[in-house]
Each structure stands twice: as C-alpha cells, then as structure tokens.
Chain A
Amino acid sequence: MNHRAALFLADGSRFDGLGLATEGIALGEAVFFTGMTGYEEALTDPSYAGQLLTFTYPMIGNYGISGSAAQYRRICAAGTIVKHLAFEPSHHASTMSLPAYLDEQHVLAMHDVDTRALTIALREHGTIWAALAVGETALAQAEERLTAFVRTAHTRDLVPSVAPKASSVVGTDGGPRVTLIDCGVKRAILRDLSALGAHITVLPYDADAQEILATSPAAVVISPGPGDPMDLLQTQETLKQLIGKVPLFGVCLGHQILALACGAKTYKLPYGHRGGNHPVKDLVRNDVLVTAHNHGYAVDAATLPDDLEATMVNLNDGTNEGFRHRRLPIAAVQFHPEASPGPYDARSIFAQWFEVAGLLAAHS
C-alpha cells in the first residue's frame, strides 16, 4: 500500500500523490467531477470510460461501497484521483471500502493529491490526455507512454467497450414497449423506465433500424455513453431512418446523436460538465431544475434545424440542455434525469416523454 503515484498531464505538468496496492499506468482524458456524494455511481458510470476521474470533493469513500449504487457491472473510469480516501468507511449499506473496491477491480487510484490545483489546471487548460502512474516502475515509464498515447489517442473504442454485445429485456411484461439503444446505459435509467411500467428491450448501440423496429417499440430511447457523438456515425444513420416512424428520446450522448441525426452540430466543451449542481432553465415551463451532468460535448443550439426547438438551457454557460421536435414526438435532454448520482429535480422527464409518446395513457 501507499506506493508513490503521479498524474502526468500532456502539457508536461505533474501532480504527485500516493497509490493503492494496484500498480501500473492508466491512460486517458483527465476530467473532474464536482458532486459531493455519489462516488460509487460515478466510478461505475459507463460514460466515464477512458477517463481519469478526479473528485473535487476532498473526502471520498466515507460511506463505503454498497454494490447496489453501482451503475454498471464494474468500475468504468480508467482511474481515479482524490484528495483524501477513506480506508475505514461507515455506513449500514457498506460492504467494502472504496480502496478495497478499486484494488479488487485493479483500477488505478491516487490519493493525497492537491485535487484543487489539478482542477484549476484542467479548467484553465481544458480536459487533457494524461497518464496515471502508480509504483516506481510505472512512474519511470509514464511520460514515455503518455507521449506515445497522445499521438494516437481517440475515443472511438469507448462505446464498444461498455455497450452490450447482445440484446436483453428488462421491465414489466405487458407494459408499454420501449426499446433502448445502449451506448453505455446506467442502471438508474433502466430502473426509472421500469418504474414507469415499461417493457424495455435493450439493443446494442450498433443495432440497425430494422432490428430496432422489429422490437415493435412504442418509443425508442438512446442512452448516454462515453466519448464523442461524432464517433457513432452508424447510430446517427440508424436514427435518421427512425425519425417519423417511432417516438425518439435521447439522454446525454443520446441527446447529442439525436441532434446530429436531425441535422444539428455538436462541439467539444473546454472542460465539460460533470457534477450534480447544474442549473437548467426549462424554457417551456419557465422554471429552473438542478440537474446531474456528465458530458464533454454539447449540441450547438445555433445549429438546431427549424424542426427542432430548444427546450432547455444551462444557466451557467448558456449551452443547450434539451430540444424537442416541433411536430414529431422527438425530444432529448443533455443532463441525466435519472440522477444517480445527483439531484432528482428532473426525474419527471421520462414520464413527460411517455406522455408525449402516448404511453402513459395507453398503459393506464
């Protein structure tokens, strides 16, 4: 325990700390998450695949790992960086400590780091490729490995790394049929859709339109997932074919791909939105929701085609947070109505969509 560890950023800067039992090098994009709770949910969120996740909140692991909070069958983040790691958690639901969990899954971690200085560096520079090295051997090789990595680094493999290979079914038999295009879905989305009584068919992200329509969906939901929406051209094409045939709803990455399929453009944010305190103005209802975020790309609201209208805007930086189609049952949000981690203000979005798609009436 307590190997020396360091995070090397591609701009040459370095942050030192201590590692856990697992040694080695993890390469990825260094990002920061500002939520004060929800480390288990965040680490297991497939959208963090390929990323070195820094927690800005300094006391991480206090309430241990419950297992039930996990959003995926394993930790998805490529590595994690925290200020203070709790080795002796305390919570009735805790089954093991966070450090034990990380080591069990051989995920690299560094603690005792000035995470605020790191966050400021990421804010000033933008998210950046980085190498997390734990142990002397790793430390010696990290810079070289990072240089090589940066030359070829891309995000194209991220969705395939977390998306399912085959289809599956969850939810209530006989409920409204919802087909979910899984680019790396969180369990909480399936939980919330199931809670609305849906019968959900989960298809891999690369399922084509025919396969999707073959599930007789009353609505199709495109899930969140990691990386750049422009990497998923095939999914984009599939969605183009579905427009007008079936109600379409997107969350996060799903929001971005759906926007692209409708003709809008996306762009990379300087340092993304990752946290649970983003105020979003609902332009239709004229109220403010505090929402959970985890995205590095955004939909350019200025490029929304005439058919789409922006329904939500981020009050912090004015980025697009949602749109809907003017005529068709198509809508999407950039944030996470399912929270987990984060606030539940937007939890009714799924029900609103079900209403738009006529599912609630059909069901009840």
Chain B
Amino acid sequence: MSLRSVLVIGSGPIIIGQAAEFDYAGVQACRALREESLRVILVNSNPATIMTDPEIADVVYLEPLTVESLEQIIAIERPDALLPTLGGQTGLNLAVELDDAGVLERYHVALLGTPVATIKLAEDRELFKKKMLEIGQPVPLSAIVTEIDEGLRFAEIHGYPLVVRPAYTLGGTGGGVVHDERSLRETLHSGLSASLIGQCLLETSLLGWKEVEYEVLRDGANNCIVVCNMENIDPVGVHTGDSIVVAPSQTLSDAEYQMLRTASIDVIRALDVQGGCNIQFALHPERSEYAIIEVNPRVSRSSALASKATGYPIAKISAKIALGQTLDAIANPVTGVTTAAYEPTLDYVVVKMPRWPFDKFPLADTVLGTQMKSTGEAMGIGRTFASSFMKALRGLDLKRETLTGGAYESWTLDELDAVIVRPTHERLFAVCERLRRATDRRACAQEIHERSSIDHFWLSEFLELLEIEERLRVDASDEAITAALLAGYSRLAIASLVGHRIDGSSSSAQPAFRMVDTAAAEFPAKSPYYYLSRGEADEMRKPTKDAVVVVGSGPIRIGQGIEFDYSCVHAAWALRDAGCSPVVINNNPETVSTDFDVSDVLVFEPPGADEVEAAYRATNARGVMLAFGGQTAINLASELHARGVTIIGSDRAALDMAEDREQFDAALSRLGVARPEGKAARSFRQARVISRELGFPVLVRPSFVLGGRGMEIIYNEGQLASYAESAAPIQDDAPLLVDKYLRGLEVEVDAVYDGTDILIPGIFEHLERAGIHSGDSISVYPAPSIDAAMEKRIVDVTTAIARELGIRGLINIQFVIHKGALYIIEANPRASRTVPIIQKATGINIVAAATRIALGERLATMEYGVGLARKAPYSVVKLPVFSFAKMRGVETILGPEMKSTGEVLGIDATFEGALRKAFIASGLRLKPAGSRILVSISDQEKPDAVPILARYVALGHRMVATGGTRDMLEANGIVCEPIKKISDGSPHVLDAIRGREVDLVINDAQGPRELSDGYRIRRAAVEAGIACLTSLDTARAFVTSLEAQATPPKSLQAYQASLRAVAAS
C-alpha cells in the first residue's frame, strides 16, 4: 500500500506520569513523517504543546481524544494509516479502542508500527507473564487471589516479602509490601475490599534488587539495537519515574550488562515490537539473576531520557521504522556518516532526578512506592558521576544546591532512619545527613545499605561529595574551591558553603564545552549538542551568525510547565528566522527545547548563572533572553547583570520593578491604576487588625513566594486563627501580605510591547470568580462579558504598565473587575502559561514578536499588527486538568495556590460548544441522564447554588445531599435524596462514594477545611475515581457543557483561517 497520509495521536493533557516527553516524541515523529512527504494529521487536546502548532503537522485538530471525535476526524481526513505509539498510554489505548470499535477497518486505516496484539499483550499481566515464560525470560511469580486463605497458601510456597496489588483501584489504594503473615492478612483484607472486583494480585517481591532499564529499537526486518541502558540509584520498590536514574549503568559488569541486553532483544523480538520499547529489569545485587518487571512497547518518558542522554532520536527513528524502513537504511542524524543501526556509546555520565510537587502540598503523602508522584525531572550531564549528579540536583531549582545543611541538620536520627527505610522525596538528603553525622562513616554506609539496599557505589560517591562540602565549610582556599567546581558545584553553591561570594574560577577549573556525539569521539559529529565540563578541552564550534542565548525553564512542576518550553522553542525559531543563531540552555530531558534540532547550539545544563554566563561567553552572544523561561530564568537577572552579561528584551531594571512589590506599587500609583487595598502584617495579631480594617474576606499570602504558595482567602476571624496555626511563622524580613479580596470577574492578557506600540492578541476571561489561581481556572477567549469600554480600559492600563515598567517584549497581567472597576492583581514581565493558548487561539505569534523586539525591531514593521487584535469568530475554552488521583492526601479544593498539572482546549463555534469539548477532553463526563450527584454547599453560596443545581435536575440527574443542603434544595422545590453525614454513622456519604453509588460530587467549601468532613469527602471521591467539583462556577460551567451541542471537529488551521478572514474584512 502506498501511504500518503498518517494520523498521529498525541497524549492529551499533562498529568503525573504523562508529561512533555510526548510532545518531544510527537514533534519528532511529525517531522520524520513529513520528511517522507507524508501528509500528517495530528490530534491532541493539549494546547501547550509544540506538536499542536500549525507548522508541525499539515492538519492539527485540538479536539478531545475520544473514540467518537477520532472517528469523526478519520471520516473527514480519511488517513491511510495511524501511528499510535508516540502518544503515550493514551495514544496506545485509543488505537486499541479504535481497532476494537472497528473504526480502523471501516475507514481502511492501517496501523503503523507495533501491532495491536503486542499492545494488548504488554498490558495484560497474565498474557505477558505467559509469553515471557514461553521464551524463557524470568518474571516475578504471582497469583490472583480473591480470598485471604489463597494468599496465605501462596505465601507458604513462595515466602516473604510479597507485594499485594488490588485490582482496579486508583493510586494503588489498599496495596503494599508485606513481610509476614499478619501484615499479609491485614493488607489482603483491605486490598480485597478496596478492589472493585474483589481481586488482588500477589507477587513475589523484588524489593531491594537493582532496577535497570533498557531502551531498545527494533525494525520490521528484525534488526535490534540498544540505545541506552540506565540504572536506578533507588532499588526496586520506587517507581522509576520517582527514582534517581543514571545512564549508563555504573555497577553492572560487562557480563551483566550483556545478559540484560540480550534479554531485551529476545523480549522485543518475541513481542514483535516495531519501533522503540522500554524494558525494566530487576537484577539481584548478590548474584547475576534477573527478572523482567515491565515492558512498554512505545516511546516513553524513559525513551525521551535515553534520547537526550545519548543524542539518539528514538522517536524519530521509531516513526521511520513504523513506515517500514530498516535501521541500516536510515542515516544517523548525529554523525551524518553512519547509519541508525548503531549503539550509542557515552563518554560522560547522565543523572536524572525527579521533581516532586510536595512543596506545594503540605498534606500530601510523600512516601514513594509503585505509584509515580513526580511532575517532572532534571537531567545532568558530566564527565564523572559526581558532576552530573550535582548538576541534576541543583537543576531541580529547589533553592538548594548542596547535599548537606539546612533543615535536615535538626532531624533526629530516628527521623532520618525512617525516611531511609521508607523512602520519601527527602531520602537522598536524609542519607547524606546520616552519613555526615556518623563518626564511623563506613559502618554508617553499611547500615544505610542494609536498610535501603542502596548500592555501596552510590554511597561512596555521596561520601566523597560530603567531604568536599565539609572541607569548604572550613577551607575557602583556591584548591578547595577548584575541587568543588570540578565535582560539579556551582559558584553559588560554593558561596553558600564558604560564606562569601565566589568570583570567577581558577585556571584549572575553567568551563569547557563538550559534545554529546553518540560515539565517544570515535566519529566527528554534526549535532550541536553540548554540556559543560571543567578543566578540560573546549569543543564549542562558535556559531557564525549572531548568537542569542535563550534560557529555559528547567524541570516541569506545578505552576511552571510545558508552556514555558513552548515559548523557548518559539523564541529559538524566531531567532533563526531573524538570521541569528539560537543558543538554548535547559536541563529538562522531556522537552522539545532540548532537542538539538531546535537550536544552533544546545547547552544541556541547569539554567543557572554559571552555565548561562559560560554559554554567553563561549558563543560570543549578543545577549541573553530571560523572558521565556518562566520564573527560573527571570530570577537570574540580577546575578547575570552583576557578571556583566547583557540581557536583551526587558532588561534587569524592568524585571526587578515588576518583581518588587513596593516599586511596582509606586509605579501603579504614578499611573493611577488601582489594585486591591492591602497592607503588610508583621504578626498574626497585626494581620487580624488589618483584616478588620479592610473587612473580610481578605487574601493573605507570605511575601517573596511564587506560584501562590501559602496563599489563602480568609472569610472570618476563625479561619484567620486556623491559618495562623498552620502557616509558617511570620519572619521580620518577610511580612504576611493581607489584601482586600475582591470577588469579581478575573481577566488576563498577554501583551507584547516595543516601547511605542502594544499588541494584545486577545483577552481571556476566567469562569471562576477571582480567588482561584489563574492556572486552575477555566478561561475563555474571546472574553464573553467584557464590553468595548472595558476592553479599551484594559488596553490602556496594559499599555501604561508596560511603558512604566520599561517592558521590551512580553508582559502578562491579571486583572479583576469588581463592581465595574478594573483592578490589577499582578503583572509578570515574561511569557506566561497562557502564551501558547492565545497563540493557538489567534494565530498571532507574540513570542516571535517579542524576540524580534529584543533584537531591535518594531511592531509597526512586523506582520502581527498593533493594539487589540480582532476577536475570533469562534470560542476557545481552556480547562485545567489535575492529577489528584496520584497525589494522595492532597486537598482538592481550588484556591489561590495552583494545583493543576495540565490543561486541555476546546474550540467550537460557540462558547457552550467549546466548553462541551473542553470538558469531554478533560475526561469529565456524566451519563446523559440519571446520574446521582452528591452536593454539599456552604451557607454563603446556597442562594447562588439553587438555579445551577436545578439545571442538573432538568437534565434528568438526581440530587443527593445531607442536612442543610438538602433542606435548601427541597425548600426550592428540588427533589433530593437524603444521605447521612459521617458523624451520623454508616451508611454515610463516604460509604456512598466508596461504593460508587454517586457519579459526581459537587462540594463547595470556602477556605481551608483540611481534615474536615469536606476534605474527607473530596479525597474519597478522588480515590474512588469520581469527579469532584469544588466551585459553583465550575459546576455552572459543567452543566452548561452538558446542555450544549458541539459542532464536528475542525482543524486549527481552518479556525485560524476564519479569524484571518474576519481580520482582513
């Protein structure tokens, strides 16, 4: 069959476990397909991705990833084939569903790459186990049990420890590792009742074995190569996404390395995988015995890591393999001379560390286990393990660059030991602190090894780093500092240890750029992919054109996600279009920005001052752009300025003014722009006085924090008292800010300013009233409730603020409209989370405009226009997506602190239709009628709630409520089933949720109610996989979406063309 068009399915919104790596894979795949002159049709609901840019695919659909919508798209586009293995588990599952539903057959769509049978086999534990045993590959022994006695018999035969995995529960509820009969009985008891189908899987435990992964590629002619192997520092028991991972393996002998390599190839052949495949092994630490833990027959987070670790583009080659090409016929994109049938060899070490969201969620269960909890990761490349390890650590942007020091020094030995045995995100620091305190460090390392199974190799490396840190605390000699620089410490880290600023570095520790070439220098490479070493030869090929450094945003975390990578990539492209050489510096292995195709020079390093300065000097760059890399990049402004690095675009002064509240307030009062009234409190007593003056509700937040940490809306003195109890004490230099909370309509603009003209592509309106973090709100473009006069006011104020701050490039401003007046909440002198969305919604590339302004161009001479752009003749709705199921214990109620991990977009002719698509894309749905909705509404919201809930009832749904809410509903003529409160005894609300007797929970509560009934209800809903809406505004939006009709799928290109037609008319 001759192929002309291929449908590619993306992975949808970013959730924990499925992040930016699929944007990287998707972009590579689309490029590879287009290189073969194929028409690429792409579907993904995630607007923050590069892959959904109209430039990446011939046709882009920002539509829900459901069988229904995909079938409609297939009917419109009639693709010849479908490539499912690049969209994560979502893509794979959809391909299987489309196949099962007969859609592929009906429309004669061929499935490229790995066959459906393989996908199913890898997913089904029993089938997979059977297949592995068939080809002689060891798998952990397991049995499915439905009764406790069956489990006890299994344990009698196979011994302890055992892993209990209840079937069909989210987040591994009720499961765990058991070491004896008593705990097996208990865990089986809870596991069997937590399981929807009363089943548990019992598995012999590989706890404490080394965890090793192989990334393998196979083509249709049965040729196989191993791209990379990786070894986890955390032994089996911690999800690989939550483990510190090292590439290549460090403690495997050649015989072990080759044994697992051969096993990988045997497995990929037996499964008939065509393309990339990830295989996870457990390797016994005392004998060369192994077992296969898991196989992922697709590109994955690990394959993105392996691609960045080696330079070998797995997704791109996988796409070519799916088209039927063989490895020996595909050119090697790194060397240009060899073929893709080549196993990379490294002459450096790579370390990946996870980034967890626990800093934002004090109540979260931080114990690491089989359920992944991290949101992102940082990778370090260095010539030694130590230097790559330290780069990964400081690349996490934890405001901590050393292994020792800080809060851990005050932990007791018992506290440290507890974390060493039962790992949390703090285990690494606990291990180092434990070692630091020990008088006999070798004996201590032995103890740690016995308790954690962490290999001695890593512990010895940690000890060496500890010694470097300890020496610096007492010895600030050039020699000590040089040793630390060579071991991967930054000047900032060293300064924190020696207690004074470090300027420059000695001649034997000068920064030197080394190349990632897949070949350990055996062949000259073409790829401009570099990392930094110190005290070695420099290999940087200076760009021949004007270089400009784009500083990236580091690991993905809540509040600083893939959106910033999107802006960095567009900045790099715009630089290239403008005839400059983009130099990108970033350390996130998942992203498109760290694909060496994106820039002329890729520097894979943490975006810190040392590295940015080195990249700037090594490339003779004209300047550094900080505005695209989120807060991480902005924070570098003053340090870079102090080092004489030129910042282009908005300069340090502009960045400072926006960051400094007093300076910013002064600027606002000069302009006569209002902001909510507020004061700084130096004690909680003072906070109470201020709150009384302003009148409740008030918004409180600690100063000098980002992303809304510790920010809350307080409705009364009681809440203020409980806030004071749970919040950190107020420090003298960091007062608590108390602002009048204005309950109004929140709007947000992204604008670009060149000193004369402003360009605002559009205004977003938030559906939830002010007080919910903009990242967690549903936002709509064009803003439905803003009239022309208010639009003008927004444009005027935005222009005035941009001028006053001295912005040259992007600015993001959030406003609240309260009783007809416009107040400013905050202004950010940088790219924001909404930039990719407004670019998708309007087709106006404000990142390119900002980049060109930084290079000295004016908006007036560009093609984007000035002022407020024409409104689109369609509606765009952004909906946040949360990963609450993966964050046990976290309060799900929305507030000023951001909690979402990703977002989806709905585009339709009408607002209601767009809303409908966005809700469907987010995965939130309800039966057409007859659903039971558990409602609980706070007193102050009750009047507003009635008409909204009545609309659900009108659609045929039924209300279930306790006491007050039920009285309120009945009083308003809404029939409502009664249900008992928790305190009234079983069967109560929690039982109904756990029994899945309700289909939706609307639980509106004001202010923090953690550990209250409301909290327990919300958490129970998450654990049971039942959607829970925590704001009436969201409930209103949802019912609107249920009532609405959406139009058939339409491509982004078609939508944007309709806007261009309007603008031209």
| Residue in A37, A123, A276 whose beta carbon sits within 8 Å of that of B253 in the complex | A37
Whether a CB of chain B sits under 8 angstroms from the CB of A69 is yes
Closest to A42 in B: B254
Mask: chain A, 158-175; 1 = CB below 8 Å from B; 0 = not: 000000000000000000
Interface presence of A93 (CB below 8 A): yes
CA distance A199 to B345 in the complex (A): 37
What are the residues of chain A within 8 A of B221 when measuring CB–CB?
A: 286-287
* Min C-beta distance of A218 to chain B, whole Å: 29
Question: Are A63 and B251 interface neighbours, CB within 8 A?
Answer: yes
Q: Is A57 an interface residue (CB 8 A)?
A: yes
Contact B457 A62 (CB under 8 A): yes
A47 interfacial by beta-carbon distance below 8 Å = no
Check if B474 is an interface residue, CB within 8 A of chain A: no
CA distance A115 to B222 in the complex (A): 36
Number of interface residues, chain A, beta carbon within 8 A: 50
- Residue A363 at the B interface, CB < 8 A? no
- Which of B255, B262, B346, B457 meets A36, CB within 8 Å? B346
A36 with B328: CB separation less than 8 A: no
Query: Which residues of the partner chain B approach A342 to less than 8 Å between Cβ atoms?
Result: 254, 258
Contact B261 A343 (CB under 8 A): yes
Task: Check if B248 is an interface residue, CB within 8 A of chain A.
Answer: yes
CB of B344 closer than 8 Å to a CB of A: yes
Q: Mark A216-259, 1 if CB is under 8 A from B, else 0.
A: 00000000000000000000000000000000000000000000
Chain B proximity of A65: nearest CB distance (Å): 10
Question: Does the CB pair B521–A56 fall under 8 Å?
Answer: yes
Tell me if A90 and B455 are in contact (CB < 8 A). yes
Q: Nearest-CB distance from A22 to chain B (Å)? A: 23
A263 is an interface residue with CB less than 8 A from chain B: no
| Residues of A with C-beta under 8 A to B339 | 279, 315-316
- Name the one of B287, B384, B521 contacting A59, with C-beta atoms under 8 angstroms: B384
4 new A-B pairs (CB below 8 Å) besides A69-B255, A89-B457? A56-B345, A90-B460, A287-B221, A343-B226
Which A residues are within 8 Å of any B CB, using their own CB? 32, 34-38, 40-41, 56-59, 62-63, 66, 69, 83-84, 86, 88-93, 114-117, 119-120, 123, 275-277, 279, 281, 286-288, 290, 315-316, 339-345
B286 at the interface (CB under 8 A from A): yes
Q: Given A89-B457, A277-B345, A344-B262: A66 and B520 within 8 A (CB)?
A: no
Instruction: List 29 interface pairs A-B (beta carbons < 8 Å), by A numbering.
Output: A32-B522, A34-B345, A34-B522, A37-B253, A37-B257, A38-B253, A57-B345, A58-B383, A59-B385, A62-B250, A63-B252, A63-B253, A86-B457, A114-B535, A116-B520, A119-B521, A120-B537, A123-B521, A275-B345, A277-B345, A279-B342, A287-B222, A290-B343, A315-B328, A316-B338, A316-B342, A339-B258, A342-B258, A344-B262
The one of B255, B258, B514, B522 in contact with A56, judged by C-beta atoms closer than 8 angstroms, is B522
Across the interface, do B251 and A91 meet the contact criterion of CB distance under 8 Å? yes
Most chain A CB within a 10 A radius of its CB, from B345, B524, B536: B345
Q: Does B348 reach chain A (CB closer than 8 Å)?
A: yes
Query: Interface digits, B328-361 against A, CB 8 Å rule (1 contact, 0 not)?
Result: 1000000001110111111111000000000000
Q: Main secondary structure on chain A at its contact with chain B? A: loop
Task: Give the docked Cα–Cα distance between A315 and B519 (Å).
Answer: 14
- CB neighbours (8 Å) of A345 from chain B are 265
Q: Which residues of A contact B539 (CB under 8 A)?
A: 120
Chain B residues 212 to 249 lying within 8 A of chain A, measured CB to CB, are: 221-223, 225-226, 248-249
Residues of A within 8 A of B344 (CB): 277
Knowing A286-B221, A288-B341 are in contact, say whether A66-B349 is a contact too (CB < 8 A).
no
Q: Give Cα A255 to B223, complex, Å.
A: 25
Question: A56 contacts which chain B residues (CB < 8 A)?
Answer: 345, 347, 520-522
Are B520's CB and A281's CB within 8 A?
A: no
With A57-B346, A343-B261 as known contacts, state yes or no: A119 contacts B251, CB within 8 Å.
no
Residue picked from A57, A59, A84, A341, most chain B C-beta under 10 Å: A59
Could you say which interface size class chain B belongs to?
Answer: 35 or more
**B347 CB contact (under 8 Å) in A86, A92, A119, A123:** A119
Contacts of B258 in A (CB 8 A): 37, 339, 341-344
Q: Tell me the complex Cα distance, A104–B253, Å.
A: 21
Asked if residues B342 and A37 are in contact (CB atoms below 8 Å), the reply is: no
Neighbouring B residues of A89 by C-beta, 8 Å? 457
Is B285 part of the contact surface with A, judged by Cβ < 8 Å? yes
Residues of B within 8 A of A287 (CB): 221-223
B1017 in contact (CB, < 8 A) = no
Query: B residues within 8 A CB of A279?
Result: 225, 328, 338-339, 341-343
The interface residues of chain A lying within 8 Å CB-to-CB of B253 are 37-38, 40, 63, 66, 69, 91, 93
List of B residues within 8 angstroms of A59 by Cβ = 250, 349, 384-385
B342 in contact with A277 (CB, 8 Å):
yes
Pair A123/B522 contact, Cβ less than 8 Å: yes
Are A36 and B248 in contact (CB-based, < 8 A)? yes
A290-B536 Cα distance, complex, nearest whole Å: 31
Contact of A275 among B222, B522, B537 (CB under 8 A): B522
**A63 contact set on B, CB distance < 8 A:** 251-253, 457
Min distance, Cβ A335 to any Cβ of chain B, angstroms: 13
**Closest chain B residue to A41 by CB distance?**
B254
Which of A37, A288, A339, A341 contacts B223 (CB under 8 A)? A288
Q: B507 → chain A, closest Cβ, in Å?
A: 14
Q: Is B709 positioned at the interface, with any CB of A under 8 Å from its CB?
A: no
Any A CB within 8 A of the CB of B107 = no
- Complex-state Cα separation, A69 to B226, whole angstroms: 23
- Distance A63 CA – B262 CA, assembled complex (angstroms): 20
Which one of B226, B251, B253, B523 has the greatest number of beta carbons of chain A within 10 Å?
Answer: B253
Which of A34, A41, A69, A339 contacts B520 (CB under 8 A)?
Answer: A34
B327 within 8 A of A: yes
- Which residue from chain B places its CB closest to the CB of A36 in the assembled complex? B248
Q: Is B456 an interface residue (CB 8 A)?
A: yes
Please, what's the 1-or-0 string for B69-102, where 1 marks a CB less than 8 Å from any CB in chain A?
0000000000000000000000000000000000
Q: By the criterion CB–CB under 8 Å, are B254 and A57 in contact?
A: no
If A59-B250, A90-B457, A316-B523 touch, does A36 touch B345 (CB 8 Å cutoff)? yes
A288 engages B457 (CB within 8 Å): no
B342 touches A116 (CB 8 A): no
Q: Is A37 within 8 A of B252, CB to CB?
A: yes
Task: Report B-chain residues with C-beta under 8 Å of the C-beta of A290.
Answer: 225-226, 341, 343
> With A91-B253, A114-B537, A123-B521 in contact, is A288–B327 under 8 Å at CB?
yes
- Are B251 and A62 in contact (CB-based, < 8 A)? yes
- What B residues does A32 contact at CB under 8 A? 522
Q: What's the nearest-Cβ distance from chain B to residue A224, in Å?
A: 17
Chain B residues within 8 Å of A343, by CB: 226, 258, 261-262, 343
Of A66, A277, A288, chain B has the most CB atoms within 10 Å of the CB of A288
Contact B537 A116 (CB under 8 A): yes
Q: Which of A58, A276, A341 has the most CB of B within 10 A?
A: A58
- Kindly state the separation between the CA atoms of A38 and B327 in the bound complex, as whole angstroms: 26
| Least CB distance, B260 to chain A, in whole angstroms | 11
Q: Taking each of A36, A41, A341, which has the highest tally of chain B beta carbons within 10 Å of its own beta carbon?
A: A36
Task: Report yes or no: A288 in contact with B328, Cβ–Cβ below 8 A.
Answer: yes
CB-CB nearest in chain B for A314: B338
- Whether A90 touches B252, Cβ cut-off 8 Å, given contacts A34-B522, A116-B536, A287-B223, is no
With a CB–CB cut-off of 8 A, which chain A residues contact B455? 90
Q: A117 touches which one: B226, B286, B460, B536 (CB < 8 A)?
A: B536
A contact residues around B385 at 8 Å (CB): 59, 84
Which are the 10 A-B pairs with shortest beta-carbon distances? A38-B254, A56-B520, A90-B457, A277-B343, A117-B537, A37-B254, A90-B456, A341-B254, A119-B521, A288-B223
Asked whether A58 lies within 8 Å of B384 as measured between CB atoms, the reply is: yes
A34 touches B519 (CB 8 A): yes
A229–B345 alpha-carbon span in the complex (Å): 28
Measured CB to CB, the closest approach of chain A to B431, in angstroms, equals: 15
* A276 and B523 alpha carbons, distance in the complex (Å): 15
Interface centre among A63, A116, A316, A341 (most CB of B within 10 A): A116
Considering the chains assembled together, what is the distance between the CA atoms of A41 and B254 in angstroms? 8
Report B510 CB to chain A, min CB distance, Å: 12
> How far apart are A346's CB and chain B's nearest CB, in angstroms?
12
